[in-house]
A = this chain, B = another copy of it.
Amino acid sequence: MKIAIAQLNPTIGDLVGNAQNILAAAQQAIAQDAHLLMTTELSLCGYPPRDLLMQPAFLAAMATALEQLAHDLPPQLAVLVGTVLPNAQAAYDGEKPLFNTIAVLQNGAVQRYFHKRLLPTYDVFDEDRYFQPGSESTFFELDGLRVGVTICEDLWNDEGFWGKRSYAANPIADLDRQAVDFVINLSASPYSVGKQRLREAMLQHSAVRYGQPILYANQVGGNDDLIFDGNSFGLNRQGELMFRASSFATDLVVVTFDDAKRDLVMQPEAIAPSPETTDAEIWAALVLGVRDYVRKCGFKQVVLGLSGGVDSALVAAIATAAIGAENVLGVLMPSPYSSDHSVSDALQLAENLGIKTQILPIATAMHAFDDTFAELFAGTDFGIAEENLQSRIRGTLLMAISNKFGHLLISTGNKSEIAVGYCTLYGDMNGGLGAIADVPKTRVYSICHWLNERMKDEGGRMKAKGDRVLPDNILTKPPSAELKPGQVDQDSLPPYDVLDDILNRFIQAHQSPAEIVAAGHDPAIVNQIMRLVTRAEFKRKQAAPGLKITDRAFGTGWRMPIASRWLPGTSSVARSPRTP
């Protein structure tokens, strides 16, 4: 039997558009003799639909769209579509109102429903908010084969792999007892660094343990902060990789299940290459994330501030790769404190990338604010108020351009500075999307170096002067906010390799300050960073959505109180007043 996997990029709530894409995939599947078409989790509405699920009209429209889709699809093809189904028993049994469901569409109608059983509630996931877990795992028959059905998290509970259980049930074990011929999984599994290696290792373990071929179809595309990487794949019953679809791109793959051998067959040239390095992988993720956010929000062009620093350089390159140089406007906003090279480096970058630029010096506006505050601020020292003013003038200039020309403003802050609050609310934090908000500063540098090397290898797909798209000086000069004369980031912060290691241990690994110190860090620096991270919570609360590339990003999966007295490493500490 031939099976098609449609790795689609749905837009949240675009029921008609998503259905059209499923229909187009079905035509391709039929043309290649497939009998079964897999799509991905909630493929009809896109994942995650979030509180749209609380609008009865949305649920009604989804039911109508599913019926229409069943009618429109080629009748002979069995198509698996992810949708939402009301739980009719909810009010009687005290259950959640909906199921996260796969509908089997064939012969013009819905033939069956399968409900997701394991509902994630960690990190960015809120599935218990909407869904009742399914009570059983089972299969449908097609061409005499038993197809065991699971949805995303259903396959993430192999205690042999994890060394622990996260849920009481284990759907693949239940399916194995029903002697299914293979197990399919429709997923919407968000990207994080190295996630695909984890998925393949995990499902390989399950395939071998249960002797089950596994077909895994994953959503692709960016939806707000979440990037879905695709990377759909299949394993035979020995756990060997039989195919892998594209990463970070839509794809349609048709694979063969050998009915006689009862196993998935190796597909010729069917293993799409993975990004060669972590830097390449993150780059591809961010390019997709920016492209889809711009597109799905209805924008065509973006604007960003070009400071001559490494963060805005990387974001400009990402935006250029995502939507084309002709759609990117870089704005240079030098101040009297800006170094000469800040403008020349930014202009060189823009020339290399081929993007448009605009120079808007901020001295005039700075003087206007100085005049306005002359009396009120008389006798006070230059300080954080004056530094932030410059950043807020720039943020205001960028938003005026956004408003005037309909460009989406992309924010250029990195994860390290957002973690410690080394950024200005309503200033450089302005923007509709934080392109590198989950990328630590050390990783920003390594992606930039990788990018320059790749451009050299490829002869520069972006217009590069010489052999580097990002000018050397941007990568070698000391990072600086340039908000007062001679300022560099390391006046206020430890070196970024130290900072990023401390942040990674605290944020990703949930280590205590004591453990971080035991790993070799200076206690005074650790305490300083703990204080900064805790005090910056109010800034993060108002940050733009930031593209998520780690297991613990400052976004929908970071839910911290603001008015709190907890400071890690102490039992209770009164905090000094702070100013936003």
Category for how many chain A residues contact B: 35 or more
Chain B contacts for A169, CB-based, 8 A: 94
Residue among A60, A432, A576 facing the most chain B CB atoms (10 A cut-off): A432
A91: nearest chain-B partner, CB-CB:
B164
Chain B residue nearest in CB terms to A369 = B365
A461 within 8 A of B: no
CA distance in complex: A365, B300 (Å): 31
The verdict on A193 contacting chain B, using a C-beta distance below 8 Å, is no
Scan residues 505-550 of chain A and give those whose CB is less than 8 A from a CB of chain B.
510, 512-514, 538, 541-545
Q: Write out, one digit per residue, whether chain A residues 357-396 have a CB within 8 A of any chain B CB (1) or not (0).
A: 0101110110111011100110010011110110011011
Q: Check: A178 CB closer than 8 A to any chain B CB.
A: no
Q: Which residues of B contact A560 (CB under 8 A)?
A: 50-52
Mask of A119-154 contacts with B, CB within 8 angstroms, 1/0: 001100010110000000000000000000000000
Closest to A538 in B: B432
Nearest-neighbour CB distance to chain B for A528, whole angstroms, equals 17
Which among B399, B564, B575 is the interface contact of A425 at CB below 8 angstroms?
Answer: B399
Tell me whether A577 and B298 are in contact (CB under 8 A).
Answer: yes
Q: Which of A12, A165, A368, A575 gathers most chain B CB within 10 Å? A: A368
Comparing A253-261, A264-272, A400-408, A415-423, the segment that makes contact with chain B is: A400-408
Shortest Cβ distance from A421 into chain B, in angstroms? 13
Kindly state the separation between the CA atoms of A195 and B51 in the bound complex, as whole angstroms.
23
On whether the beta carbons of B512 and A56 are closer than 8 Å, the reply is: yes
Is there contact, CB below 8 Å, between A12 and B561?
yes
Which residues of A, 33-64, contact B by the 8 Å Cβ criterion?
48-52, 54-58, 60-61, 64
* Interface pick from A71-79, A493-501, A566-574: A566-574
Q: Is the CB of B542 within 8 A of A61?
A: no
| Complex: chain B residue closest to A166, CB-CB | B94
A565 touches B14 (CB 8 A): yes
Is A200 interfacial (CB 8 A cutoff)? Answer: no
Query: Is B57 a contact partner of A513 (Cβ separation < 8 A)?
Result: yes
What are 16 A-B pairs at a CB distance below 8 A? A11-B563, A57-B569, A64-B571, A91-B164, A94-B167, A224-B562, A360-B376, A369-B396, A383-B404, A385-B401, A392-B400, A396-B396, A402-B580, A403-B580, A542-B542, A542-B544
